[in-house]
Amino acid sequence: MKARLKSGTLNYVDKGNGPPVLLIHAFPLNHTMWQSQVAVLSSRFRVIAPDIRGFGESLPASPWTIDEMCDDLAEFLDQLNIKTCAVAGLSMGGYIGLPFCLKYPDRVLQIILANTRARADNETEKAARTEMIAALEQHGAGILPDRMLPRLLQPNPSPEVVHLVRDLMANTSASAAIYAVMAMRDRPDCSSRLHRVSCPALVVAGENDVITNTDECRSIAEGIPGGRFVLISKAGHLTNLENPQEFNRAITDFIV
Ligand code: MLT
């Protein structure tokens, strides 16, 4: 389905009936990463999974900040006539989901922050992002699988998941990737505002995640009043893809 936003056309899936759940995808993927969650959650919820600006079939790619992406999503929910919903963001999706929840507290009934950070990048991480942008400008999006796959998945990942993630990356344009890396590099630090999250929160970590470590995820849960924490076994960074059974159970147990 397509929504027309001020920033362009937003492609999304909208499946099921019940309380709405907005799923925000990771970098450098698209809404298809949520296919298992859409299938399972849509038996009880209205599941909405957009391709964020420039990714998947959302066009055109154009520069964005995290704050602007929060506004894109608020405009998108307005168009769907959704006033309040649960929000789940994985990694980059959490870099957007947490500020969204802080900026639009009246719209978020529950927040799920998976494999993500509340803090901004440190100087070393910012420098790595700047190098990634230069590499994408020079060589294109074809560099993404070799650079990202070994870090996104646990050691010895399932061949099906590797195949799926490669396919998802093949769909990503260099410009979408560049604008997203810029937005992630320049994202705000939300760690000092965690206490202001006023809705129930679940923080999800993967036991073999090498991008966002378990302790960092646990400390996000500790910073949010009443925040809950769950560790997904046998999963790296992409917990929803590597262990969908545990991930889906954690989410459905949380959003009641
Ligand atoms: C993601 O999975 O969204 C990204 O790897 C996050 C990041 O690069 O910090």
**What token pair was written down for 161?**
């998941």
| Centroid of ligand 1 to alpha carbon of 65 (angstroms) | 15
| Centroid of ligand 1 to alpha carbon of 180 (angstroms) | 10
Give the pTM. 0.98
pLDDT for 44-79, tens place per residue? 999 999 999 999 999 999 999 999 999 999 999 999
Is there an atom of ligand 1 within 6 Å of 153 CB? no
Q: At what angle do helices 92-103 and 174-185 cross, to 10 degrees?
A: 60
Is residue 50 packed enough to be buried (19+ CB in 10 Å), middle (13-18) or exposed (0-12)? buried
With residue 178 as reference, give the H or E element that holds it.
helix 174-185
Range 79-83 average pLDDT: 98
User: How does the average pLDDT of the chain come out, rounded?
Assistant: 97
Return the biggest CA–CA distance within the chain.
47
pLDDT for 211-226, tens place per residue? 999 999 999 999 999 9
**What token pair was written down for 67?**
């704050």
Tokens 């919820």, residue?
A: 45
Q: What is the pLDDT of residue 5?
A: 97
158: helix, coil or strand?
A: coil
Q: What is the pLDDT of residue 146?
A: 94
Range 154-178 average pLDDT: 96
Is there an atom of ligand 1 within 6 Å of 26 CB? yes
Cα–Cα distance measured from residue 87 to residue 107, given in angstroms and rounded to the nearest whole number: 9
| Centroid of ligand 1 to alpha carbon of 23 (angstroms) | 15
Can you tell me which atom of ligand 1 is nearest the CA of 148? 5
* Ligand 1 binding pocket mutation candidate from 31, 34, 69, 91 (most atoms within 8 A of CB): 91
Q: Is the pLDDT of residue 256 over 90?
A: no
Range 94-120 average pLDDT: 98
**What token pair was written down for 228?**
């809950």
Q: What is the pLDDT of residue 254?
A: 97
Give percent above pLDDT 70 in the chain. Answer: 100
Can you tell me which atom of ligand 1 is nearest the CA of 151? 5
